[in-house]
Amino acid sequence: MRKCFLMLAAALGLAASQASAADLPSKAPAYMPPPLRPITWTGCYIGGNIGGVFSNAKADFGFAEVSNDNSTFAVGGQIGCDYQFSGGWVLGFRNMFDWTDLNRDRAFVFPTGIDVGSANFKTNWFDLLTARLGYSWVPGWLLYGQGGVAWAHNTAGVTVNGLVAGEFSPKTRTGWTAGGGVEWMFAPGWSAFLEGNFMDFGNEDHVVFDPVVCTVGCPFNTKATAATVLGGVNYRFGY
């Protein structure tokens, strides 16, 4: 009888302990943050830039050469796409369009020693379509070089003794460009860059007429080059 009583008490105690354990709150699983997305340059982007442009324009009249160095601001935007491959290598293309206000006059003297001329050069905008190749040596940093086609909207004019001898309609000149820079992805989907580019628009022939000096036309040749230093920010889609 006593044995049966002890067995019954033990069973009741076990049941009570199990019920008490069931009433206790269960321990929540430890929080595991989602894995970080690998930083990649693959994707397309759009952004803006601002900086400076430094130009050199030359007009060669045969008897005199006029050289015009000028600098001013540049502001615009860019759009492009990149593809990262073989680890850190990045291949891409980009189109950058900037407005500017390059405008300067330079005087020169004709062989007569009396007649004075002035050459004026203006540039309103430039457009760079480039391919670029870069290497990301650490995540989020990209060092790149680029090259391609450049366009610029130019106007040229010549005056002789204060009178207009030739004004050439605004036209788009085509040349080539090469440069490079560094880009930093400072937040998911956002990057900043600093770069420099050189543009060469080649030579172009013109003729001006003046009733005193250039009655049968005075031919001259112009050459234009420019360099830019630009900084900007890109927004990258897909992050």
User: For each of the chain's 239 residues, which pLDDT tens digit applies?
Assistant: 555 444 544 544 544 455 454 554 555 566 555 555 678 999 999 999 999 999 988 877 777 677 778 899 999 999 999 999 998 999 999 999 999 988 877 777 777 667 777 777 888 999 999 999 999 999 999 999 999 999 999 877 777 777 666 666 568 899 999 999 999 999 999 999 999 999 999 888 777 766 666 766 777 778 889 999 999 999 999 87
pLDDT of residue 109: 77
Q: Which domain holds residue 194?
A: 44-236
How does strand 163-187 pair with strand 141-160? Answer: antiparallel
Is residue 15 in some structural domain?
no
Exposed, middle or buried: residue 194 (CB in 10 Å: 0-12, 13-18, 19+)? middle
**Overall domain count for the chain:** 1
Is residue 65 in some structural domain?
yes
Instruction: Give the HSE-up count for residue 12: Cα atoms under 13 Å, Cβ half-sphere.
Output: 6
Tokens of 155: 């106007």
pLDDT of residue 40: 92
Measure Cα distances from 28 to 31, 34, 153, 233 in Å: 9, 17, 67, 44
User: Helix, strand, coil shares of the chain as percentages rounded to 5?
Assistant: 10, 70, 20
The end-to-end CA distance of the chain, in Å, is 76
- H helix or E strand, kind and range, residue 164: strand 163-187
Is residue 68 in some structural domain?
yes
Is residue 133 in some structural domain?
yes
pLDDT of residue 121: 80
- Give the span between the Cα atoms of 17 and 36, in whole angstroms: 44
Gyration radius of the chain's alpha carbons: 35
Is residue 39 in some structural domain?
no
Q: Which residues pair with 184 in a beta bridge?
A: 141, 192
pLDDT of residue 8: 44
Is residue 16 in some structural domain?
no
Is residue 6 in some structural domain?
no
pTM, to two decimals: 0.78
How does strand 65-85 pair with strand 141-160? Answer: unpaired
- Give the span between the Cα atoms of 45 and 43, in whole angstroms: 7
pLDDT of residue 193: 98
Is residue 196 in some structural domain?
yes
CATH number of the domain enclosing 124: 2.40.160.20
